Chains A and B, each alone.
Chain A
């Protein structure tokens, strides 16, 4: 019990003192996941737009694939990207393995299906007469789709938050392609895993607290937007 309280109190000290190592790790997490969420939001919303804009053969297959990839195990995504980016892989010449860029890519891959899947579901379940009404007022098919997406904007925003929540908490994928290099590719989740392994619990617990607070804040926002959407 003492051990637990001791770790907790040391962890709080680290947070209050704004420990540089801790701060560096948190900032890198935000940078990597922030960039990844911008890319995946753009990609996810583009996919939603394209899917809603027209009917084509194979659309159902694509939607099913997106829904499957929403549950893609992060380690599998990490492993696949590792094989592609490793020296002998097809994109090895880019020298991206063990860089923050590789982490951004793998997180974007994980978040895109979530954003596309959830926001497309929101668009599909919107009132079908919205599209027709937009047409009657002179919208082109593209403008009508944009209008529908704006109509369900809170659900779309919630899908982005859900994606962000997933990649911030994710450890397997970034560990494989980032390598957990101190001061370079070490983010909150990988740092926790490593420090716990080493038996250095204060930094791990401090990061754990921060991660929990972020998850709490994200879920609060998610709840707020989902309610607003109704």
Chain B
């Protein structure tokens, strides 16, 4: 009982903060015969990177954990500080605490500023708050001087930073990044990695990043999740994973035999 009293005294927001995501016995089958089958638990304050060959289910898992896709069976649970379950499923307020940045995020046909403001407007933020947060976020990704430009005028690297700003501005409890540097030039890649290092890694939130870039996984990750053919084969410290992968498929993957 004493515990529950303490909980009542906490500000409501804090008590509702997602500190853990548990995906339990997820199964998702596709007509092609591919099936995702896994369980995974994600803690706050750890930057996870998911690596694995194409078609191993990384993006699907990310979507399922972001409540953007439903598994055929199994459950995704969001837990707060006291490990109390926060779901009901499909609660829009809960879903809005988790933000996924898709590989090729679509930009909206409006200014850079309005693109970043969109999520805040959906959350009914006030005008002043929107202005302040958007400008701060644009500054973080180095797009301040483009704020009035049309989003379609941006280069692909700038567009990806805009997509990142659009997510960061929402200060989500969990940030799910699907290949944030896919098909970007080295300079743009480095800029995005810098933002992730500075703004995301130290946020103390739940962060998951799917990447094909193994050097990036090695440099940024606190923990590496290796997926192969729909299954999580390994969850390991990056040093361990990249020097001594435990499974045969991971060895083949790390040494470039499968990709």
Contact = CB atoms under 8 A, between A and B. Distances in A.
Interface stretch (B6-14, B39-47, B97-105): B97-105
Contact of A138 (B102, B109, B110, B123): B123
B122 A136 contact: no
B170 A137 contact: yes
A48 B31 CA distance: 31
Interface in A29-72: none
Interface extent on B, as a size class? 20 to 34
A133 B106 contact: yes
Contact of B105 (A133, A139, A150, A152): A133
A222 to B, nearest CB: 19
Interface in B64-101: 66, 68, 92, 95-96, 99-101
B53 interface: no
Interface stretch (A16-24, A88-96, A124-132, A158-166): A124-132
Given A140-B92, A147-B108, A151-B108, A133 B102 contact: yes
Interface string A142-162: 010001001111000000000
B102 A132 contact: yes
Interface of B: 66, 68, 92, 95-96, 99-102, 104-106, 108-110, 118-119, 122-123, 166-167, 170
A138 B95 contact: yes
Interface residues of A, number: 18
A150 B109 contact: yes
Given A132-B68, A143-B122, A138 B105 contact: no
A135 B68 contact: yes
Contacts of B102: 129, 132-133, 136
Given A136-B167, A151-B109, 16 more contacts: A133-B102, A133-B106, A134-B118, A136-B68, A136-B101, A136-B105, A137-B118, A137-B170, A138-B92, A138-B95, A138-B96, A138-B119, A139-B122, A143-B122, A147-B108, A152-B109
